Amino acid sequence: MIERIFENWVLKIISLAFAVVLWFFVMGESRMEVTHIVPLEYESLPEGLMIANEVPTVVSLRISGPRALQGNLSPADISLRVDLKNLTAGVTSFKRLEESLNIPKGLKITRISPSYVDVKLEKVRERDVPVRVVLTGSPAAGFIVKSVKSTPVKVVVSGAESELKGVSEVVTEGIDLTNVQESFSQIVAISYIGNYTDLKDTKTVEVQVVLQVDPNYVPPKPLEGPLVEESGLETNLEGEDKK
C-alpha cells in the first residue's frame, strides 16, 4: 500500500505543482466587476473664493479586471480629486473624472457616477447686519415692554457674495415673556442658517428687556353687592310666600 503511494512520486509532485500554477493562472485571469464608493475631494481652493453650489462628495465606481488584482484593491487605494488651483469666480465643469483616478494597471473603469462635476466658485464677502430680537408671549397683566436692546446690535455675516446680498438682518431665538413682571437680561442664540453664508464670529447676543407699568391698565373690578342683594331679596320673597 505504501509502495503504491510513493510510486511515480516525482510525476505526482510535478502534477500537483502544475495544478497549483494552473489554479493561480485561472483565478488571476478570470475577470470580475466590483463597485466601489470613494470620496471625492476638492483641493487647492483659491484664496478668497468658496464653493457656492451643491457638489457630490462621493463617487460610485464600477471597476472590471482580473480577480487577483481586484482582491488586492480597496477603496482606500483609490483616490479621486478635483483640482481647483488657479480658478476664478464662475462655474467650471470637470468632465472625465476617471482620468484622475490612480488604479493599478490591468483594471478598467466601466462606469462612474457622477461622470462629471460642475463647481461654482464665488468671492467670499462680509456684511454687518442688524440683530432683531424675537419676543413671544405677553408680560403679566398691568405691564408692558418699554424697550428691548441687544448687545451687540449688529453682527458679521460671511459667505458667498450672491447670497449675502439678500441678507438684511438676523433674528434671535424667541424670548418668552409670558407672565413676566420685571426687567431682565438674557444671553440668546442667534437663529441663522444660510446655504453658503454663516455668522462669522458672534453666535449669541445679550438681550436686555425693560418692562414698565402700563399707564392705561385698568384692573378688573371685584364682584360687588348687587348679586348678594338680589340673592337676599329672593330669600325674603320665599319667606313671605311661606307665611
Q: How many distinct structural domains can be found in the chain?
A: 2
CATH number at residue 112: 2.170.120.30
In-domain check, residue 6: no
**pLDDT at residue 181 in the model:** 95
Q: Chain-wide mean pLDDT for the chain?
A: 84
* pLDDT at site 195: 96
Residue that wins the pLDDT comparison between 191 and 6 = 191
| pLDDT given for residue 233 in this prediction | 45
CB atoms within 10 A of CB 129: 16
224: in domain = no
> Is 59 in the same domain as 105?
yes
Judge whether 234 lies within some domain: no
* Position with higher pLDDT, 229 vs 15: 15
Residue 161 included in any domain? yes
Task: Tell me the whole-structure pTM to 2 decimals.
Answer: 0.69
Are 185 and 207 within 8 A, CB to CB?
A: yes
Q: Please indicate whether residue 139 or residue 77 has the higher confidence score (pLDDT).
A: 139
**pLDDT exceeds cutoff 50 at 49:** yes
Cβ–Cβ under 8 Å, residues 161 and 186: no
147 and 200, same domain (yes or no): yes
Is 115 a domain residue? yes
**Residue range(s) defining the domain that contains residue 39:** 30-123
| For range 185-209, the mean pLDDT | 97
Q: Over the stretch 58-100, which tens digit does the pLDDT of each residue have?
A: 999 888 888 777 777 776 678 788 999 999 999 999 998 888 7
Same domain, 109 and 141: no
Confidence of residue 225 (pLDDT cuts 50, 70, 90): low
- Domain boundary among the residues 123, 150, 172 is at 123
Is the confidence at residue 198, as pLDDT, over 90? yes
User: Among 3-17, 67-81, 84-98, 182-196, whose mean pLDDT is lowest?
Assistant: 3-17
pLDDT at 3: 56
pLDDT of residue 237: 43
Question: How much of the chain, in percent, has pLDDT values that exceed 90?
Answer: 57
42 pLDDT tier (thresholds 50, 70, 90):
very high
Residue 76 lies in a domain: yes
Same-domain status, 43 and 117: yes
Band of residue 202 on the pLDDT scale cut at 50, 70, 90? very high
Q: Report the CATH number that the domain containing residue 142 is assigned in CATH.
A: 2.170.120.40
Query: Same domain, yes or no, for 76 and 116?
Result: yes
Which of 102, 123, 144 is a domain's end point? 123
Mean pLDDT of 137-146: 96
Asked if pLDDT for residue 235 goes beyond 50, the answer is no
Angle at 12 between CA 23 and CA 24, to 5 degrees: 10
